[in-house]
Structure 1
Amino acid sequence: MTAFRYVATSQDGENKRGMIEADTQRHARTLLRDQGLWVSEIGEIATGTTSLGRSRGLGGQRLSVWTRQFATLLDASLTIEQALAVLIEQSEDEREKQLAGALRSEILAGSSLSQALARQGKAFPELYRTIVAAGEESGRAATVMQRLADYLESRAALASKVALAFVYPAVVMAVSVLVIVGLLTWVVPQMVTVFQSAKTELPFLTRAMLWASAAVRQWGWLILLLLIAAGVGSWQALKQEAIRRKFDAWCLRVPLFGRFVRAGNTARLASTLAILVGSGVPLLKALQAAVGVISNLPLREAVQESARQVREGVPLSRSLAPSKLFPPVLIHLIASGEATGRLEYMLDKAAAQQSQELENRVATFTSLLGPMMVLAMGIVVLLIVLAILLPVFEMNQLVK
């Protein structure tokens, strides 16, 4: 059977959109007519590399939820085809329905789940497809899908915690900039021009603040355009591999930010290797798949070099150590896992340790960043107030 997407009108005039499975398009129209629906548009949900797969998938959060639902249905002893049918029926998201329908059509045509996922282009990451294929080969598809759901949820939770931690400092920074710009463009000119008619020389701080106010009022739009152009130019420049490599290497050397980058990439690497190795994927293939989760180029190249050495028979811990880019605790835990035959368990421990370290560092950094930004804003506002009040003090001295 084939999945068809339709737009139809019910007997009471209500427009309905949905998906239906039928042998042919004519059969689908007949089934919809039997339900009292008049079809205005109908089309087959194409298998293979669909437009959905080319452009976008479900997104990290939705993909983790979808995977959890799928894993739960498989764990309840449903077949893959039955689980996908349930997902199609219960989903309220059109993209999810289309994706599940395309997968189910592939399964009914005789493809395996990993093959069906591969034909959806970029809708499913390569790591996702590798883990599913490993589950099919080992005969533990339901168990592997549960582990995959855990992995996606933990990654989404960590990313959400890090993002939310920076919301408060970002809001404080935005408000601070708006307040300072408002003072420079409206308050300072109105207050200080009163003293210019006194024909006395204004204090240096007042003159400097007047100059800054004039620059913001007259050239503020140009400054904003230059900042936007610089941001866009930097973004485009970072797309060049040579510049990106130098930038990423510099990020690792920055005293505080470098620890964030190192911990985040290490946590993703360790958790990815843990689930791949635990799912029965050979270590070399697991390393090759894990390269895609590392965002920093020097760290990514270190993992690629490690994979080359592992291919030659070098243990994982010894292949990662020479780069000196990864935390020593990761190397020691991997070495312990290789020595005791519990590599998966030690990789899980390393991932948990690095994730906790990242959360602690981000929490400490953001708890200090907020007050520091408020202090900086207070200093700027104090300077503006002094620039306004100093002429008043000098006029009082002249009167005396």
Structure 2
Amino acid sequence: MSARYSYRAVDVAGKPMNGYMDAESIEEVGSWLADRGYFVVDIKLAPLQSLVITGKKKAKVSSDDLNFFFIQLSSLISAGCPLLMSIDALEKQAPSLPLKGLLADIGEKIQSGKSFSEALKNHNNIFSNLFITMVEVGEVGGILDQVLERYAYIHDSTHRLRNKMFKAMIYPVVLLLTTLFVAWAVLVFVFPKLIGEIQASGQKLPLPTEIVLMTSNFVSAYFVHMLLSAIAVYFIYASIKKTESGGLFIDRVFISVKVIGSLIKQLQIVLFSRTLGVLLSSGVPILTSIQAVERTMGNRCYKDAISDAREAVSRGESLSQAISRHRHLFSDTIVLMISVGEQTGNIGEMLEKMGKIYERDLESTLESAVSLLEPCLVVFLSGFVALLALAVYLPIFDMGKLVR
């Protein structure tokens, strides 16, 4: 049974090196150090505290921190800085403690003799299979700098795109939630008190007032039931989406909705073309590349289509032929560009270009959708305020007429 040992050693020049290593015995650690030209100073079982610290594999690292890591590591490796030195440098300037701990553990694994990809596999809850696969290809082919640069581009582009989508939706969502909160507060607390006095006088209420009063009474009486029902619907939806058939059905429904479906299709095509293009350009075999892309897709309709395409390619068909069977998900333009890439031998480059084109289209579609949603919410809010004003002031005007 292996255990974790801490060691202290020096090289020929007298430079100290300290670290941890998982091994079967102290002799194994000593042999590993001696084989690499180090003179052993001390080897002992790692204390329990260090085991706990270095054994944290479930730490949460934010997308911003990962983006920092990928971009900075790519820059350092491309500049000719050794891998271990690059990781040590990034550990010192890491913007958060989780990333600092993660890089410290990766550095220790590499110091103990593991490859970069093997060190990453210990943190597969943080690093995607796509990244680990690309690193393995880079190590085997001696193109780690190119692979890291390409992956940094993929992650940074996806990260920026998600941030744009999030920022674009902040104003409409805040406006909608504010409208719903104000509507609830007015219907439950304000409106009943205003109308109660008018009802007490025996005056007949106008139609807008009766409609708002009925709505107010319903919300006041069944608010808790509505809230619990909404929570129940959410959990039922989440449970159905986790199942294979239920998730596929929900994804199909979303794709069939005009504006939402267009956004989903464009996003999935951007992920598909950019990821597959980078993998193929890095020298990853096409079947391995398609399988890696399949795992990155968030929509089950696209997952199934890409899985079907992978099986077709494994039988000897071209990728363009396999994709052409799913023209409801992949347009004629995509099929044509893949076909041209296959004929010219530049399929990876063609896919990367296609990813950039569809990313611009996605940003344009997103801006148009948000531009359309904002005035719709403003109109809804204005209509609600107008109806509420009529419901309040019409009885008051009628009461004034009676006084005259």
Corresponding residue for residue 200 of structure 1: 203
Shift in Å at residue 399 of structure 1? 4.8
Higher mean alpha-carbon deviation, 372-381 vs 119-128, is at 119-128
2:324 counterpart of 1:330: no
Shift in Å at residue 254 of structure 1? 0.9
Q: Which runs of structure 2 are paired with 1:242-253 in the superposition (5 Å)?
A: 242-253=245-256
Instruction: Indicate if the aligned counterparts of 1:3 and 1:101 stay in contact, CA closer than 8 A.
Output: no
Shift in Å at residue 67 of structure 1? 1.4
Q: Which runs of structure 2 are paired with 1:69-80 in the superposition (5 Å)?
A: 69-80=72-83
* Selected match of 2:351 from 341, 347, 351: 347
Distance 1:374 1:23, change over 3 A: closer
Name the CA distance, whole Å, in 2 between partners of 1:63 and 1:88. Answer: 12
Higher mean alpha-carbon deviation, 254-263 vs 91-100, is at 91-100
2:94 counterpart of 1:91: yes
Structure 2: which amino acid aligns with 1:202? L
Corresponding residue for residue 262 of structure 2: 259
Corresponding residue for residue 135 of structure 1: 138
Name the CA distance, whole Å, in 2 between partners of 1:45 and 1:121. Answer: 19
Corresponding residue for residue 376 of structure 1: 380
Instruction: Indicate if the aligned counterparts of 1:46 and 1:102 stay in contact, CA closer than 8 A.
Output: no
Structure 2: which amino acid aligns with 1:301? D
Name the CA distance, whole Å, in 2 between partners of 1:190 and 1:336. Answer: 71
Corresponding residue for residue 361 of structure 2: 357
Instruction: Indicate if the aligned counterparts of 1:334 and 1:343 stay in contact, CA closer than 8 A.
Output: yes
Aligned residues: 366
Corresponding residue for residue 17 of structure 1: none
SS in 2 for 1:43: helix
Instruction: Indicate if the aligned counterparts of 2:65 and 2:95 stay in contact, CA closer than 8 A.
Output: no
| Percent of aligned pairs with the same amino acid | 26
Distance 1:282 1:23, change over 3 A: closer
Structure 2: which amino acid aligns with 1:359? E
Instruction: Indicate if the aligned counterparts of 1:320 and 1:331 stay in contact, CA closer than 8 A.
Output: yes
Corresponding residue for residue 295 of structure 1: 298
* Selected match of 2:166 from 159, 163, 168: 163
Shift in Å at residue 3 of structure 1? 9.6
Distance 1:182 1:164, change over 3 A: same
**Alignment gaps of 5+ in structure 2:** 7-16, 22-46
Structure 2: which amino acid aligns with 1:331? V
Instruction: Indicate if the aligned counterparts of 1:260 and 1:361 stay in contact, CA closer than 8 A.
Output: yes
2:84 counterpart of 1:81: yes
Corresponding residue for residue 43 of structure 1: 50
SS in 2 for 1:121: coil
Corresponding residue for residue 14 of structure 1: none
Structure 1: which amino acid aligns with 2:145? A
Structure 2: which amino acid aligns with 1:231? Y
Q: Which runs of structure 2 are paired with 1:82-121 in the superposition (5 Å)?
A: 82-121=85-124
Instruction: Indicate if the aligned counterparts of 2:19 and 2:108 stay in contact, CA closer than 8 A.
Output: no
Corresponding residue for residue 228 of structure 1: 231
2:399 counterpart of 1:391: no
**Residues 216-273 of structure 1: CA distance to partner in whole angstroms, max 9, x if unpaired?**
2333233222212211221122111111111111111111111111100110011100
Name the CA distance, whole Å, in 2 between partners of 1:286 and 1:22. Answer: 36
Shift in Å at residue 286 of structure 1? 0.3
**Residues 147-171 of structure 1: CA distance to partner in whole angstroms, max 9, x if unpaired?**
1111110110111111111111001
TM-score, normalising length: structure 1: 0.86
Name the CA distance, whole Å, in 2 between partners of 1:92 and 1:348. Answer: 31
Structure 2: which amino acid aligns with 1:239? K
Name the CA distance, whole Å, in 2 between partners of 1:291 and 1:314. Answer: 18
Instruction: Indicate if the aligned counterparts of 1:60 and 1:152 stay in contact, CA closer than 8 A.
Output: no
* Selected match of 1:284 from 281, 287, 290: 287
Distance 1:162 1:3, change over 3 A: farther
Structure 1: which amino acid aligns with 2:159? A
Shift in Å at residue 41 of structure 1? 8.6
Structure 2: which amino acid aligns with 1:135? G
Name the CA distance, whole Å, in 2 between partners of 1:305 and 1:58. Answer: 34
Corresponding residue for residue 213 of structure 1: 216
Name the CA distance, whole Å, in 2 between partners of 1:136 and 1:280. Answer: 12
Instruction: Indicate if the aligned counterparts of 2:324 and 2:330 stay in contact, CA closer than 8 A.
Output: yes
Name the CA distance, whole Å, in 2 between partners of 1:304 and 1:175. Answer: 43
SS in 1 for 2:258: coil
Q: Cα RMSD over matched residues?
A: 2.3
Name the CA distance, whole Å, in 2 between partners of 1:106 and 1:212. Answer: 64
Shift in Å at residue 308 of structure 1? 0.6
Structure 2: which amino acid aligns with 1:75? S
Shift in Å at residue 328 of structure 1? 2.3
Instruction: Indicate if the aligned counterparts of 1:284 and 1:310 stay in contact, CA closer than 8 A.
Output: yes
Name the CA distance, whole Å, in 2 between partners of 1:78 and 1:44. Answer: 30
Structure 2: which amino acid aligns with 1:124? F
SS in 1 for 2:247: helix
Higher mean alpha-carbon deviation, 130-139 vs 109-118, is at 109-118
Instruction: Indicate if the aligned counterparts of 2:129 and 2:292 stay in contact, CA closer than 8 A.
Output: yes
Name the CA distance, whole Å, in 1 between partners of 2:99 and 2:52. Answer: 12
Distance 1:23 1:125, change over 3 A: closer
Instruction: Indicate if the aligned counterparts of 1:81 and 1:104 stay in contact, CA closer than 8 A.
Output: yes
Structure 2: which amino acid aligns with 1:77? G
Instruction: Indicate if the aligned counterparts of 2:20 and 2:112 stay in contact, CA closer than 8 A.
Output: no
